[in-house]
Structure 1
Amino acid sequence: MDIIGIIPARYASTRFPGKPLADIGGKTMIQRVIEQCKKSEVLKKVIVATDDERIFNHVKELGHDVYMTSADHKNGTERCHEALKLEGGSYDFVINIQGDEPFIEPEQIKLLASILDRKTEIATLIKCIDHLDDLQNPNIIKALKADSGLALYFSRSPIPHMRNIPTEDWMKSHQHYKHIGMYAYRVDILARLVTLSPTPLEIAESLEQLRWIENGYRIKTAITPIETIGIDTPEDLEKAMKEMPL
């Protein structure tokens, strides 16, 4: 099974412009993401897909593989697809690794790779929710899965809704999961995903993966015990550096 890791990295960000180049203990954020990906040892190759010359030149100077992609892409899935076409070669799966997760654990990438097989269309990770505040936070995406592991739905709201149970007891009555935003796509499926138009559920929740579910694609999930820390603001980075060893 040949898997390529692609890291979409945009310079423009409303809340944290230029964050892929932010310094984290003497290394840039994008450098740390690349290095963590390569430690997983399950990726045949790791490449960065960017739309900015500053990021492109920096990654090149570090000696890593990078492609300049269109600034018009609406999401990381589209950017991954273009980078894969530019790369060429023969791969079975693409793993899309978020460019703003410098503390991603190689074990998470290995876990995602371990559930891939020829029948897998899309795969992702989920994690048990341990705190009621997280369950109620609309910025934390919740996931609902079948016993088979296939995703049933993703939402910004708590799912399932625990009818006739006090909110404070929801955590005791059902195991809730949150979504970890790393995807594996079978290469032929990725080519189809980028042709799909936005769907009503996707628009309602502002969640791209609902477009895939509405179009009948199956998303396999694996449960990780490892927390991830995405960096959306300078304050997130400051907090993460206090909590995470470098």
Structure 2
Amino acid sequence: MKTIIVIPARYDSTRFPGKVLADDTGKFLVQHTYERALCAENADEVLIATDSEKVLRACESFGAKAVMTSGTHQSGTDRIAEAVTQSDAELVVNLQADEPEIDPAYIDKLIDLLKSDEGSQMATLVSGFGNPDQVKDPNVVKVVTQVNGRAIYFSRSPIPFSRESNGVGDLDNYLRHLGVYAYRREFLTAFTSLPQGELEKTEKLEQLRALENGYSIITGKVEHTWDGIDTAEQYAQFVKRIKG
């Protein structure tokens, strides 16, 4: 199956404006992510989708394939759906531009997950937790799955809720959701045309739209998490790691 990785790169980030073009390491942040994506062995193409001429020119400066998309999209998923309109790829990977430290082997695992589970329309990755505070943190998304790995529900709350421990029980019972996805292309088109459901509106989690509409999401567990870059402070720490 032909597979394309699409990196949505919006310039006007709310918490860190212009972050995709931050270049304190000597490379643009989006360039780091692009180069990691190129190392994935199971992908045939890597494309950056942006709403900014400034980002487009920067991507062209380091040799990336990039396209302009509408500035009115509400999410990166919508941007990706537009970007692959003319693509003949059967599988589409959604890799956020602020994920410069993702392991390319994890991208390959994600692609293999969807290829091997014909009954699922989406795939995503999960990991374990390091401490109970992470489970309680609403900024860290949790997921519960069936025994076959298909997602039952995603939440910002601790799930499952441990009645005996009044919240968080044995850490081995909790899975952390990692925000990277693979889709079947025809599903992606259908998904972005669906209205937001009440679960998605309540939790502010886009993937719940798929579950609300009866689609299946297969998950795969990986050993390590990685840090996305949401704030200037997180970017500063990333620069230290790179230079260190």
Query: TM-score, normalised to structure 2's length?
Result: 0.95
Q: Is the 8 A contact 1:121 1:189 kept in 2?
A: yes
Cα gap change, 1:166 to 1:89, in 2 (>3 Å): closer
Q: Is the 8 A contact 2:119 2:216 kept in 1?
A: no
How high is the sequence identity, in percent, across the aligned residues?
39
Over aligned residue pairs, what C-alpha RMSD do you find? 1.5
Aligned ranges for residues 72-221 of structure 1 at < 5 Å?
72-85=72-85, 88-117=86-115, 118-167=118-167, 170-172=169-171, 174-221=172-219
State how far apart, in whole Å, the 2-side matches of 1:116 and 1:81 are: 18
Cα gap change, 1:162 to 1:2, in 2 (>3 Å): same
State how far apart, in whole Å, the 2-side matches of 1:103 and 1:83 are: 24
Indicate which of 232, 235, 244 corresponds to 1:234: 232
SS of structure 2 residue aligned to 1:144: strand
Equivalence for 1:65: 65
SS of structure 1 residue aligned to 2:148: coil
Q: Write the letter of the residue equivalent to 1:239.
A: Q
SS of structure 2 residue aligned to 1:134: helix
SS of structure 1 residue aligned to 2:173: coil
Cα gap change, 1:238 to 1:120, in 2 (>3 Å): same
Q: Is the 8 A contact 1:199 1:211 kept in 2?
A: yes
Equivalence for 1:22: 22
Structure 1 residues without counterparts, runs of 5 or longer? none
State how far apart, in whole Å, the 2-side matches of 1:166 and 1:200 are: 27
State how far apart, in whole Å, the 1-side matches of 2:40 and 2:155 are: 29
CA drift of 1:47 comes to 0.3
Equivalence for 1:10: 10
Q: Write the letter of the residue equivalent to 1:130.
A: G
State how far apart, in whole Å, the 2-side matches of 1:9 and 1:89 are: 18
Structure 2 residues without counterparts, runs of 5 or longer? none
Equivalent pairs, count:
242
CA drift of 1:76 comes to 1.0
Q: Write the letter of the residue equivalent to 2:150.
A: L
Deviations along 1:146-165, one digit per CA (max 9) or x if unpaired, are: 11100000000000100122
Cα gap change, 1:108 to 1:245, in 2 (>3 Å): farther
Deviations along 1:175-233, one digit per CA (max 9) or x if unpaired, are: 20111000100011001001100110111100001111000010000001121111111
CA drift of 1:119 comes to 3.5
Query: TM-score, normalised to structure 1's length?
Result: 0.94
